[in-house]
Chain A
Amino acid sequence: PTGQDAGGKKWGSKLERLFAHPLYNIRSPALGDEEVLLQPEDLMNYYKRKVSRWERHQKYYNEVAAATNISLPDREAVFDPEASWLKFHLGINRYALYSRDDPNVERLLQDLRSTAVINADYTQDEKALKGVCDCSQVVKPSGHHLKLALKLKDFGKAMFKPMRQERDQETPEDFFYFVDFQRHNAEIAAFHLDRILDFRRVPPVAGRLINVTDEILLATQNEELRSVFFTSPANNTCFFAKCLYVCKTEYAVCGNPDMLEGSMSAYLPGLSIAPRISIPSPWIRSYTFTGREEWEVNPFYCDTVKQLYPYNSGNRLLNIIDMAIFDFLIGNMDRHHYEIFTKFGDDGFPLHFDNARGFGKHSHDEMSILAPLTQCCIIKRSTLLRLKLLSQEEYRLSDVMRESLGHDMLRPVLTEPHLLALDRRLQRVLRVVHKCVRKLGEAQVVAVDFVESHRTTA
């Protein structure tokens, strides 16, 4: 049925042609209650409680403000049961964060781009540090990095990461992966790439121009956040990540004079209704200057991993390899942990979170990121087929990425060299697979994966 749908259209764009391809139109199996992350009633109740708490808090806050004669801009919040972020949360199932043809994703991206901000605050992991700054730490905990949680008018939340680097800047060659910058455009591009690869494991991210004065400084109720704002000698409004600033590792980010680019990534459902666990990647790096992990020295490392629970059964190892391919394409060496929803158990998909350290060097392909694939020599058939498809002229990865990113407000999100690097890296992935097949035979290497087999028979 999908084929007919495709036939009726004129092919103006490679991206549309890609999504119309049969490989992208395998029907998902029907979902049972247990295969959906959230039940609508539970979610509604949860959020209604949150909303009423917010309203109480707001009322109190406004009274205090009025008592001290501060006039606050009116920030009206509207609870909308049809809000795109709620739909997004409800759509999360055991196969992916959202479905392929979900029109809600576009709506959500649009909302992230334009819905008014009503509150700004530090993120949970920053608050968890409780203001403790240890400047001697070489590897800074993730809470140290400058990012903010923004609440939108419809009560949706987004993580804001400001622009730290120009598009054409590359990571200096002497930087280790754990001191690299956080790039807002990498967050955006990672979402698009993940969708094009049909993994759908990155929460939607949109670029946005934020007015730091109106939408952060005046919107926040956090005194500490307010205290990190200042006006620069060039009369721009600036703010900084407290710890990194105190430790003099990073200077402030500044608007021009107020407007600042950044990435807005949609929040996942709260941990209390959809708990997740964080698991260290078996191919974690040492996070030291000299240390090496076992996988870096032992070419047979994967044999050990394969014996270990939970990698000894099911899809887990294959999912890790998907993730390695994804990271290799974006050049992200900083994948120390991955998260999965506890509800889906061991067969759940890993979330591809926190991709801001990708797209740092377009002139360098970090082959060590591919270690899981090169050492294990196994790949999902569905992934391999899509990678092959994307290496073809009429679906070329760089072209579909360029087109997909063209929809973002901050276009161009990636410079040409980065887009072309994607093609080059894709070839390298395919070459690694090819080598494996030559060595071990196709039956050993190309795994007919669990989900896919289901679908083809369906």
Chain B
Amino acid sequence: MILFRKFRVLILMVFLIACTMHIMIDLLPKLERRAGSSTGNSACSCSHRPSEEPQSWGKQRARPGAESGWPNKHTLRILQDFSNEPSSNLTSHSLEKITGAGERTEAFKKMEHYAQNGETKKHFIQDTDVVKNLPVKGFTRLSTLFEHPLYKTALPPLTDEDTLFNVNTDIRFNPKAAENQEWHNEGNEEEYTPTGESSADSYPNWLRFHIGINRYELYSRHNPVMDALLKDLVSQRITSVAMKSGGTQLKLIMTFQNYGQALFKPMKQTREQETPPDFFYFSDFERHNAEIAAFHLDRILDFRRVPPVAGRLVNMTKEIRDVTRDKKLWRTFFVSPANNICFYGECSYYCSTEHALCGKPDQIEGSLAAFLPDLALAKRKTWRNPWRRSYHKRKKAEWEVDPDYCEEVKQTPPYDSGTRLLDIMDMTIFDFLMGNMDRHHYETFEKFGNETFIIHLDNGRGFGKHSHDEVSILVPLSQCCRVKKSTHLKLQLLAKEEYKLSAVMAESLLKDRLTPVLIQPHLDAMDRRLRLVLKVLADCIEKEGYSNVVEDDLDEESAHTATSRR
């Protein structure tokens, strides 16, 4: 009895502590957010602060490898079966496939709603010029890098043709969205304003991100929305989870409290694990930390072609199992012999008990990548990479046997004009730095035609081996011997001791929840690979002359800016 009484006190204590913890945890993000929005926005020239409950709106990322790929279960070509066989024509994804229709129509409705305040759009686009609100704290290298003149070149002036959304018109042009809006208008008018202070004239971060997309970049350099969006990805309550259909490896689509969506890739490998030497590039695991690191690397290279990605610790019970309506996913949850919660989902690669993803006991790491705008609103074109690998164990691709392959490519549209070939070179360098051999396709926004950047999606297969530099990734560069001057200068800058790539990357990655995202050998490998890229370029210049190799994109741009400055 005495014993029992003692226990009662103990239980009470535990209960009290748990309560306090809960309250603290609830309060913390709010405080943080408040602090963030007050510092962030005071400097911002725009009149709209990010809402207190920022929203992110999901977009199904068109994954080339996935949707319609795989003809039935690879019975015929067993030797190819680990390949990420993509289908070539994926520009039109059916909406129905993607997520719960409920969230979608909700999202459309929101879009419509925000659209009515179209004039405010310009503020976001002009964020480009806002350089004041740099995050200068303990981080020195990164901020000095971003202070460098090379990171201050401005974009050409933007017309309606150059922005992804003309908020007023786009909705009208989209009958589907309008339709959805109509039949959905019946019941849930009150759900318009999700919670708190979000009101008609305050855009959520995900929408600000979408509206900011233009012909030249996914987001502007010092856009405060990006930091807020990253924070959203980590802190927003997850309201529903669906499995991404047709994908090769398991990915989950997470919908947040306020209809924002993100793509979740769970952790499959520890930081220290390297891809086994006998693995082919198409049988490699997708790594959540590679997704995170790729976003940071892309930003440091000033490409800004990767949608924002943040790491998050997810509670598998509360944030996945209990909120999914997907029976197939739900069915694969089990408790392991070590009493951890595990699941394996349904997909064609590594979705089996042998590869179950287990929490400790129920926390699992993963990356959350913000969705791009819905394909219904902003169609994307999928292009086959001319230097695509064979995805076959024995066959070689054409570029592997033909040293003059680039000459052919140069004469084929769209590589024969504009900056497309140079963009491919940028992507090649980006992939080589990460060691990503899986770039079979790339995407662009259809609206911008051929004069636009390419989106660097799906970077999960980077950062697999730190002890190996896969020089075949650099083949496009060594075959074509072309590079943008801006890229070349930035690479040279990042090779300098005071801007060393590994150091700025390490600094940038520190901001992620899952820090350390990369182990030191991976960071060091990037410095080594950067030198290799510069060596290839130096050889090219020596062989073909500076002006034939380096395309001066800086002059042109500064000319543009000179006239466009208001």
Contact = CB atoms under 8 A, between A and B. Distances in A.
Nearest to A250: B354
A365 to B, nearest CB: 13
Interface stretch (B73-81, B212-220, B380-388): B73-81
A179 B79 contact: no
A10 interface: no
A116 interface: no
Interface string A231-267: 1111010100010011111111010000000000000
Given A174-B356, A230-B393, A252 B78 contact: no
Contact of A248 (B281, B336, B340, B348): B348
Interface in A153-203: 173-177, 179
Contacts of A251: 276, 278-279, 283
A304 interface: no
Contacts of A231: 393-394
A227 interface: yes
B337 A248 contact: no
Interface in B335-352: 335-338, 340, 342, 348-352
Contacts of B356: 174
A135 interface: yes
A309 interface: no
A64 interface: no
B34 interface: no
A174 B337 CA distance: 6
Given A174-B342, A230-B79, A248 B334 contact: no
Interface centre among B78, B335, B348 (most CB of A within 10 A): B78
Interface residues of B, number: 33
B99 to A, nearest CB: 24
A234 B348 CA distance: 25
Given A234-B277, A242-B78, A249 B283 contact: no
Contact of A173 (B81, B278, B337, B353): B337
Nearest to A228: B78
A228 B278 CA distance: 15
B82 interface: yes
Given A174-B358, A232-B278, A236-B278, A245 B338 contact: no
B352 A174 contact: no
A252 B355 contact: no
B192 interface: no
Contacts of A173: 336-338, 340
Nearest to B353: A179
A290 B393 CA distance: 40
B280 interface: yes
A254 B278 contact: yes
Contacts of B79: 227, 230
A249 B337 contact: no
Contacts of B342: 174
A338 B351 CA distance: 31
Contact of B78 (A135, A236, A245, A290): A245
A246 B78 CA distance: 7
Contact of B336 (A174, A232, A249): A174
A238 B279 CA distance: 10
A108 to B, nearest CB: 33
Given A242-B78, A245-B81, A289-B335, A233 B352 contact: no
B280 to A, nearest CB: 6
B338 A232 contact: no
Contact of B338 (A174, A177, A233, A252): A174
Interface centre among A177, A228, A245 (most CB of B within 10 A): A245
A249 B354 contact: yes
B349 A174 contact: no
A233 B278 contact: yes
A138 interface: yes
A250 B348 CA distance: 13
Interface in B71-122: 73-75, 78-79, 81-82
B394 A248 contact: no
A175 B280 contact: no
B384 to A, nearest CB: 23
Interface centre among A231, A236, A289 (most CB of B within 10 A): A289
Contacts of A250: 354
Nearest to B74: A246
A249 B352 contact: yes
Contact of A234 (B278, B338, B358): B278
A87 to B, nearest CB: 40
Contacts of A289: 334-335
Given A173-B337, A174-B342, A248 B350 contact: yes
B209 to A, nearest CB: 34
Interface in A63-113: none
B351 A248 contact: yes
Contacts of A234: 277-278
Contacts of A230: 79, 393-394
A231 B281 CA distance: 13
Contacts of B280: 232-233
B509 to A, nearest CB: 28
A290 B338 CA distance: 13
Contacts of B350: 248-249
Nearest to A178: B353
A248 to B, nearest CB: 5
A204 B356 CA distance: 35
A227 B393 CA distance: 12
A119 B75 CA distance: 27
A227 B75 CA distance: 13
Given A175-B337, A176-B337, A230-B394, A248 B82 contact: yes
A254 B349 CA distance: 20
A228 B353 CA distance: 23
Contacts of B73: 135, 246
A408 to B, nearest CB: 26
Given A233-B279, A234-B277, A254-B278, A249 B334 contact: no
Contacts of B353: 138, 176, 179, 249
Interface string B408-435: 0000000000000000000000000000
Contacts of A254: 278
Nearest to A232: B278
Interface string B37-76: 0000000000000000000000000000000000001110
A234 B278 CA distance: 5
B350 to A, nearest CB: 5
A227 B279 CA distance: 18
Given A233-B279, A289-B334, A227 B394 contact: no
A174 B348 CA distance: 22
B362 to A, nearest CB: 12
A227 B278 contact: no
B80 to A, nearest CB: 11
Contacts of A177: 337
Nearest to A246: B81
Contacts of B82: 245, 248
Nearest to B352: A249
Interface centre among A138, A174, A246, A290 (most CB of B within 10 A): A174
B348 A238 contact: no
Nearest to A247: B352
Nearest to B337: A176
A348 B356 CA distance: 41
Contacts of A249: 350, 352-355
Contact of A252 (B75, B278, B335, B358): B278
A248 B349 contact: yes
Given A173-B337, A254-B278, 17 more contacts: A138-B353, A173-B336, A174-B337, A174-B338, A175-B354, A227-B78, A233-B279, A236-B277, A245-B81, A246-B81, A247-B352, A248-B349, A248-B352, A249-B353, A249-B354, A250-B354, A251-B279
11 contacts: A173-B338, A174-B338, A175-B336, A175-B354, A230-B79, A236-B277, A248-B351, A249-B354, A251-B283, A289-B334, A289-B335
7 closest residue pairs by CB, A with B:
A174-B336, A234-B277, A232-B278, A173-B338, A289-B334, A174-B358, A249-B352
